[in-house]
Amino acid sequence: MKTKITTVTLNAAIDKTYYVPVLAKGKVIRAEKILSMAGGKGVNVARVLRQLGHSNVAATGFASGYNGQFIIDQVRKIGIESEFVGASGESRLCLNFIDRTDGSSTEVLEPGPEIREEHLVNFKSKLQRLSEESGLVIFSGSIPKGLSSGLYAELIEIARQAGAEVFLDASGEPLVQGLAAKPSFIKPNEDEILPLLAETEKSGGQDLYGGVISLMEKGIPNVVVTLGGEGAVAGAEGKLYRVRIPKLRPVNTVGSGDAFVAGYAYGFIRGWPAPRCLSYAAAAGCANALSQVAGDVRLSDHERILRDVQVEEWHR
C-alpha cells in the first residue's frame, strides 16, 4: 500500500480562540490570550497524523483569500504537503470566546467562501492526482453551503477509481448519501449514527452493535461508533469489538473524533489488524482531550494512554 495519506477539508478554517476575563455584552473586552490554529476536521486529522509520526501527509480542500493563506502556511510549517484549491472570498474564521469566570465557550462562525463550478472542477482534478499517489484518502466534516450533499459520494468514487482506500467522517445527509459509495471506514458518534439506523433500531429495538452490523452488511468494512468518554464500539473484518478507555480529566474534547480517525488511519495504512488500529485510535482521541487545542496530540500522552486502552471482541 502507498504510504501517502491525503485528508480532505472542504470547509477549512482558522480556529481562533480568545480567552477573556468575562464575555460581557456591549462592553470593551480585552483578550488575555489568543490562539490561532489552522482548522477544519481534515486539517486536524492531518496534524494528528504528523504528531503520531506519519511523515507522508497531504491536505487538500478549499482555502481562500488571506485566511486561506494562513491555513496553507500553518499546514506547511508542520510538515504537511499543502494541496488546497482557491475559491471566491475568504476561508472561514471561527471565533471561540472562552470566559474565564464560568469557563463557557461562545462561538461565532463565518459562512466561508463561495465555491463555484470552476473551483470544484479544479478540486476534482487535484483530488484525482492526489488519490493516485495516496494509499488512503480521508474525507472529514461538513459540505460547504451551495454544494450538493451528495458530493462525498461523487468524490469517494473519484478517489476509489484512482486506487485509494477511503475513510469518511461526516454527519447528516452528507454521511447518509456518502454511504452509497461504500467508504472503507466510517466513524459516527452516538448522535450521528441515529439517522443511519432503521426505525426499529432507533426506537431501541436493537443495540448499537445491531447498527454496526447493519452498516457492515451494507458494505462498509470498518464501522466505529465513538462514545466520548465511554470509548467506542466497532465492527471490522466481520467481528464486533468493545473499546474501553481509561478515566481522564479532559481539558477540551473538541477534535477527539478527528484524532481517533488519524489514529485509525495510522494503523490501517500499515496493515495492522483492527483491534490494534482501534486501541491506537482510541488513545489518540483520549490524548487530544488532554490538550487545549482541537486536533492536537502529544506523543507522550498517546504512548502512556495506549497501555490502558482495552479492546475486546464482543459476542452478542
Ligand X SMILES: Nc1ncnc2c1ncn2[C@@H]1O[C@H](COP(=O)(O)OP(=O)(O)OP(=O)(O)O)[C@@H](O)[C@H]1O
CB 262 within 8 Å of CB 50:
no
Residue 306 in contact with ligand X, rule: CB under 6 A: no
Question: What's the min distance (Å) between Cβ of 281 and ligand X?
Answer: 7
When CB distances are held under 5 to 8 angstroms depending on the partner's kind, the choice from Mg ion, ligand X, none that residue 254 binds is: ligand X
* Candidate residues 232, 269, 277, 311; the one interacting with ligand X per rule CB under 6 A: 232
Provide, rounded to whole angstroms, the least separation between the CB of residue 88 and ligand X: 28
Q: Which stretch binds ligand X (CB under 6 A): 30-38, 77-85, 208-216, 247-255?
A: 247-255
227 binds, among ligand X, Mg ion, none (CB under 5 to 8 A by kind): ligand X
The x, y and z cell numbers of residue 167, run together, are 475513510
Contact map string, positions 150 to 189, toward ligand X, x by CB under 6 A: ---------------------------------------x
CB of 28 to ligand X, least distance (A): 32
Q: For the stretch 203-220, what's the b/e string if a residue is b when 16 or more beta carbons lie within 10 angstroms of its beta carbon?
A: eeeeebbebbbbbbeeeb
**DSSP assignment string, the chain:** ----EEEEETT-EEEEEEEES---TTS----SEEEEEEESHHHHHHHHHHHTT---EEEEEE--HHHHHHHHHHHHHTTPEEEEE--BSPPEEEEEEEETTT--EEEEE----B--HHHHHHHHHHHHHHHHH-SEEEEESPPPTTS-TTHHHHHHHHHHHTT-EEEEE--HHHHHHHGGG--SEE--BHHHHGGGS-HHHHTTSS-HHHHHHHHHHTT-SEEEEE-GGG-EEEEETTEEEEEE------S--TTHHHHHHHHHHHHHHTT--HHHHHHHHHHHHHHHHTSSSSS---HHHHHHHHTT-EEEE---
Out of 286, 293, 297, 311, the residue judged to bind ligand X by CB under 6 A: 286
Q: Judged by CB under 6 A, which of 215, 282, 297, 311 binds ligand X?
A: 282
Cα separation, 219 vs 118, whole angstroms: 33
**Based on CB atoms, which residue is closest to Mg ion, 211 or 257?**
257
Using CB under 5 A, pick the residue from 113, 135, 257, 263 that binds Mg ion.
Answer: 257
Asked whether position 253 contacts ligand X by CB under 6 A, the answer is yes
- Please select the residue that binds ligand X; options are 210, 248, 270, 272, rule is CB under 6 A: 248
Q: How far is the CB of 279 from Mg ion (least distance, A)?
A: 19
Contacts of 189 (CB under 8 A, 6+ apart): 225, 226, 227, 228, 257
Choosing from 144, 178, 183, 257, the residue that interacts with ligand X (CB under 6 A) is 257
Our finding on whether 258 is near ligand X (CB under 6 A) is: yes
The nearer residue to ligand X, 131 or 226, going by C-beta atoms, is: 226
- Binders of ligand X among residues 9 to 38 (CB under 6 A) are none
Q: Which of 17, 64, 67, 226 binds ligand X (CB under 6 A)?
A: 226
Least Å from the CB of residue 282 to ligand X:
4
Does 256 bind ligand X (CB under 6 A)? Our answer is: yes
Residue whose CB is less far from Mg ion, 49 or 120? 49
- Taking the CB of residue 33, how many other CB atoms lie within 10 A of it? 11
Residues in contact with Mg ion by CB under 5 A are 257
Residues in contact with ligand X by CB under 6 A are 189, 226-229, 231-232, 245, 248, 250, 253-258, 260, 282, 285-286, 289
